[in-house]
Chain A
């Protein structure tokens, strides 16, 4: 029995080790708004969520279903959106993907891109809606460049995460 428990613990340990690099990559993605530019448009894509999603699509097991809570909280603190926006939306995305996984039978590159793009675009629009609920000023036009860049960048982020994944497993 004790040997079994020890084996269980070492599995848990390796899981933590394996999730370390992906977690760090999501955190770095969320910290991107700290780069010293004063943007007049929302010019940068939501990189934290993009990396988070890319890992989720690459390795469906990698995040616990509640992983959007801590990562989302960090993203909210940095991004300037009202506190709770990403906590709510990232968790909703995790739950939606989990439900979709139980229904979808086939997946390929294009479908992954489509799913990621749809989720990211809804995230950008919903985050803007939440940010303007208190102050007013709902409007889509300023977001269009950001949406375009985000959708086009999805395959690159996925490829980047796949590279990181290969490196992580060869360590």
Chain B
């Protein structure tokens, strides 16, 4: 097929001017787009009110269909599960036996903990729940990992608040609208969460990989503190995330880094919980060995 060259204006002055004006408009628009990107880079919160407004408009649309796909869970998870069914079955059975043993140990520890806490008269502060709401949609075409939660400023949600589920950490709020907000998921490549290993208390941090898993790095140079099956919980260091929310379980170890699988699956969640953002008590900040004290705050 020969290409269509009918865009050539010929001798009509009006057509030529129209074409020229079109180019001017297009290039101006492209430059404005570039300017908007620059603003987004230097002032990430610059357009948060617009984003919040868009969430307000779109959340009801997505929310109507959310119930229907709730059972389906994570699409990619389902495909992967089919693919690895046999291997996964064996692995899961092995993990189950280990987990049962650990569970019994954990119950014993729990009991002991409670007794010890009563002894030292420390009262554990329950983190305050702001609101419980549904996650309704996500940035499924973008390289960033955002989800929309159907609760906003009207329910007391503010940027920076941590979002969790019963299973573990989901992410944190970045933009709020009146009735819906956007959540930066744990697996986004820019989301860094300070954690510690429950087994040893070693501090580390997780970074999202953008593909549903997280990278884990130790804060102690030259040590290999990770083992397969280690559970990571938030350490509370630096604020935002309150301590002791389960985050991920280590599935593979590469020397001093490791690959973790998040414990909460946002795709299968019924409800997510928005909590008050955590402010570490002033005397604790800066202490590396915060893990023993941070279990119970003395407020």
Q: Are A40 and B76 in contact, with the CB atoms below 8 A? A: yes
B189 interface residue, CB < 8 Å from A?
yes
Q: Are B141 and A79 in contact, with the CB atoms below 8 A? A: yes
**CB-CB under 8 A for A137 and B210, given A35-B62, A44-B140, A132-B190:** yes
**CB-CB under 8 A for A39 and B136, given A83-B36, A88-B30, A101-B3:** no
Total A-B pairs in contact (CB under 8 Å)? 217
B119 interface residue, CB < 8 Å from A?
no
Which residues of B, 115-141, contact A by the 8 Å Cβ criterion?
Answer: 135-141
CB neighbours (8 Å) of B209 from chain A are: 139, 141-142
Stretch from A17-25, A123-131, A153-161 at the B interface: A123-131
| Nearest chain B CB to A75 CB, angstrom units | 9
Residues 148-184 of B, flagged 1 when their CB comes within 8 A of A and 0 if not, give 0000000000000000000000000000000000100
**CB-CB under 8 A for A84 and B137, given A40-B212, A77-B50, A105-B3:** no
Q: Are A33 and B143 in contact, with the CB atoms below 8 A? A: no
Tally chain A residues at the interface, Cβ within 8 Å. 65
B248 interface residue, CB < 8 Å from A?
no
Residues 174-200 of B, flagged 1 when their CB comes within 8 A of A and 0 if not, give 000000001001011110000000000
Most buried by A among B30, B32, B69, B135: B30
Residues 3-18 of B, flagged 1 when their CB comes within 8 A of A and 0 if not, give 1111100000000000
| Nearest chain A CB to B40 CB, angstrom units | 4
A130 to B36, CA, bound (A): 11
Q: Are B4 and A60 in contact, with the CB atoms below 8 A? A: yes
| Nearest chain B CB to A44 CB, angstrom units | 4
CB neighbours (8 Å) of B39 from chain A are: 83-84
Stretch from B21-29, B103-111, B217-225, B235-243 at the A interface: B21-29
| Nearest chain B CB to A35 CB, angstrom units | 7
A40 to B103, CA, bound (A): 29
Residues 25-57 of B, flagged 1 when their CB comes within 8 A of A and 0 if not, give 111011011111101111010010011001000
CB neighbours (8 Å) of B249 from chain A are: none
Tally chain B residues at the interface, Cβ within 8 Å. 71
A39 to B137, CA, bound (A): 8
A141 to B209, CA, bound (A): 9
| Nearest chain A CB to B75 CB, angstrom units | 6
**CB-CB under 8 A for A60 and B211, given A46-B141, A132-B189, A142-B143:** no
Residues 78-90 of A, flagged 1 when their CB comes within 8 A of B and 0 if not, give 1111111111110
Which residues of B, 53-87, contact A by the 8 Å Cβ criterion?
Answer: 54, 58, 61-63, 65-66, 68-69, 72, 74-77
CB neighbours (8 Å) of A43 from chain B are: 75-76, 140
Partner among A35, A79, A137 whose Cβ is within 8 Å of the Cβ of B65: A35
Q: Are A135 and B143 in contact, with the CB atoms below 8 A? A: no
CB neighbours (8 Å) of A60 from chain B are: 3-4, 6-7
Q: Which residues of B contact A (CB under 8 A)?
A: 1-7, 19, 22-23, 25-27, 29-30, 32-37, 39-42, 44, 47, 50-51, 54, 58, 61-63, 65-66, 68-69, 72, 74-77, 135-147, 182, 185, 187-190, 207-212, 266-267, 269
Beyond A108-B1, A142-B209, 8 extra complex contacts between A and B, CB < 8 Å: A39-B139, A42-B139, A42-B143, A66-B29, A80-B146, A83-B36, A83-B37, A131-B143
